[in-house]
Chain A
Amino acid sequence: MAVTGAVLVAFLIGHMLGNLKIFLGAASFNSYAEWLRTVGEPAVPARSLLTVAEIVLTAAVVLHMWSAVSLARRASKARPVKYAKRRSQAGGYVVRTMRYGGVIILLFVIWHLLDLTFGAVNPKGFDATPYDRVVAGFAPARWWVTAFYVVALAMVGLHLRHGLWSAFQTLGLAAGRRRRFLDVFAAVFSAALVLGFVAVPVAVMIGVVK
C-alpha cells in the first residue's frame, strides 16, 4: 500500500507541475507534451519515458488495488459478526472515504484517460494538440465535466490526506515528534496538490485560459 502509493504520489507531483505549464501559453504546454514523447532521443526510441511510466504506473495501480482488496477481505474475515452499534472515536472522516473514494478515483482515471489521452470523449478528439483538447474539454458549456473533475480531485486530496500519513506510519517514519510534523505535512501537501490540479480546469471554464 505505502510503496505503490508512493509511486503514484511521485507521478501526481510531476503531472501537476506539468499541467501548470498551460498558464505559460499554448506553445509551452504543447512543446512540453512533445518533449515527454521525444525525451532521450536519439539515444532511446521515441516514447521511452512514457512507456516506462505507463508500465510502472499500471503495475502500481494494480498492486495498490490488490493490497486494498486483500486488506478489506482480511478485515471482513476478522469480524464475521458486526456490531449492532458502533461509533468512531478517532474522528477520521477521511479514513472512511479511503475504500469507496479509491473506487471513485479509479472511475475518474478511466474517464480522464478517455477524455484527454485517447480523446474518445473529448470534443476535439485524438488529433488535436494537447492544449486544444484541454481548452475544448473544459469549455464553459461543458461545466459538468469541470464539476466532475473538481469532485474527483477533492477525493484524490482526501485519499492522499490519510494515504500519505498512513504511508509514513507503515514505513516506520512517523514516531514521536515527527508524527505531528508529518501529519501536518500530509494535509498541506494534499491541499497544495489538489489546488494545483483544480486550477487548470477551473481556469479554462472561467475563461482565463482560452
Chain B
Amino acid sequence: MNLTLKVWRQNGPADTGRMVTYQVTDVSPDMSFLEMLDVLNERLILDGDDPVAFDHDCREGICGMCGMVIDGVAHGEQRATTTCQLHMRHFEDGATVTIEPWRAAPFPVIKDLVVDRSSFDRIIQAGGFISVPAGSAPDAHSVPVKKDDADDAFDAATCIGCGACVAACPNGSASLFTAAKITHLGLLPQGQPERASRAVAMVDQMDLEGFGGCTNTGECTAVCPKGISLDVITQMNRDYLRSPK
C-alpha cells in the first residue's frame, strides 16, 4: 500500500505548528497504524530529517499512551480501537490520511503528535483514590460486592485515560474520563467514604484545568476505545448533585 500522510508537525510547545505532507510506500495491510508511522520515521531518520514524535507504550491497546486524531476521528474510524490496534487494512491504497494531535488547551502539544496529559493526573489526584487501612491484604470475600455493581464498576474501570473523549468532544470536555473514574470508585463499598466529596473535588479540578462543559453530544462514547458508556456521566451528575457543597 502507498499512502499520502498529512501530519501535524510542531517543534515544541511554543511553535505554532503546521501540516506537512509525506508519502509512505510499501505499507503492509497487516501493519498497525503506529508501525506504519515507524516506517515513515525510519525513512525520515535515514534522510536526516526529524522523525514524527508520537506517544506509545504497550501497543496492545491497554496502556492508553497512544492516540491521535486520524482523518478527523480520535483513534481513527474503527470503533472501540486504540491507534496501536488500528490496522492498515482498514485504509484504502492511495488514500490521503490526516493525522493531528489531541486538540485541547489542557493537553498542550509537547512535540508533533505528543500532548501533555498531566491535567488528567491532577484530576485523579483531586479525588480518584480510596482510603484503605494499610497492612496485610484482606480476605477476598470480606467485603461483598453485588454482581451488577461489580460489573458496572469494572466497565468504568476499563478507562485507560487516553484522552480520546476530550479530543472528540466539541466542547473539549473531560466529563467521560472524570465520570468513569468517579463511577468506578463510587459503585464499590471501598469507595464510599470519599464518595460525597469525590465528585465535587474531581469536577472542580476538571473545570480548573480548563476543560469545557458537557453538552451531552455523545461524541466521547462514540470514539472511546473502551466503549465507556454515557451512564458514567449520569452517575457523576448524580453524585455531584447529591453531595453537600
Residues of A in contact with B (beta carbons under 8 Å apart): 70-71, 74-75, 77-92, 95, 98, 162, 165-166, 169-176, 179
Contacts and interface: CB of A to CB of B under 8 A. Distances in A.
What's the dominant secondary structure at chain A's contact region? loop
A120 to B, nearest CB: 35
B164 to A, nearest CB: 10
Contact of B234 (A71, A89, A95, A173): A173
A199 B105 CA distance: 47
B4 interface: no
Nearest to A73: B212
A82 B235 contact: no
Interface in B207-245: 210-219, 221-223, 230-231, 233-235, 237-241
A183 to B, nearest CB: 10
B5 interface: no
B170 A75 contact: yes
Contacts of B106: 78
B71 A85 contact: yes
B215 A95 contact: yes
A79 B171 CA distance: 8
A78 B212 contact: yes
- What 3 pairs across the A-B complex have the smallest Cβ distances? A78-B172, A172-B238, A89-B222
Given A165-B216, A169-B234, A175-B234, A78 B171 contact: yes
B103 A175 contact: no
Given A78-B210, A171-B241, A84 B219 contact: no
Given A90-B222, A95-B215, A174 B234 contact: yes
A121 to B, nearest CB: 34
28 contacts: A70-B213, A75-B170, A75-B171, A77-B212, A78-B104, A78-B173, A78-B212, A79-B103, A82-B103, A85-B71, A85-B72, A87-B71, A90-B218, A91-B222, A92-B217, A92-B218, A95-B215, A166-B215, A166-B216, A170-B237, A172-B234, A172-B235, A172-B239, A175-B234, A175-B235, A175-B238, A176-B231, A179-B230
A188 to B, nearest CB: 18
Contacts of B71: 85, 87
A86 B235 contact: no
A88 B231 contact: no
A176 B237 CA distance: 14
B100 interface: yes
Nearest to A174: B234
Given A84-B6, A85-B98, A171-B237, A79 B212 contact: yes
